[in-house]
Amino acid sequence: MNIVILDGYAANPGDLSWDELKTLGECTIYERTPREKIMERAEHAEIILTNKTPIDAEAMDVLLNLKYIGVLATGYNIVDVQAAKERGIVVTNIPAYSTDSVAQMVFAHLLNICQQVQHHSEEVRKGRWSQSPDFCFWDTPLIELAGKRIGLVGLGHTGMRTARLAIAFGMEVCAYTSKTSLQLPPEIKKMELDELFAQCDVVSLHCPLTPETRGMVDARRLALMKPTAILINTGRGPLVNEQDLADALNAGRIYAAGLDVLGEEPPSPNNALLSAKNCYITPHIAWASEAARERLMRIALDNVKAFIEGKPMNVVNK
| Residues labelled catalytic | 236, 265, 284
Query: Nearest-5° angle of CA 98, CA 238, CA 297?
Result: 25
Q: Which of 25, 19, 6 is nearest to 71 (CA)?
A: 6
Phi, psi of 149 (to 5 degrees): -105, 120
Give the 3-state secondary structure of residue 280: strand
N- to C-terminal Cα separation, the chain? 22
The residue type found at 102 is: V
Task: Give the Cα separation of 302 and 305 in Å (integer).
Answer: 5
Which is nearest to 231 in space by CA: 182, 83, 221? 221
Percent of residues in the chain assigned helix, strand, coil, to nearest 5: 35, 15, 50
CA distance linking residue 316 with residue 318, whole number of Å: 6
* DSSP classification of residue 89: -
Q: How many residues does the chain have?
A: 318
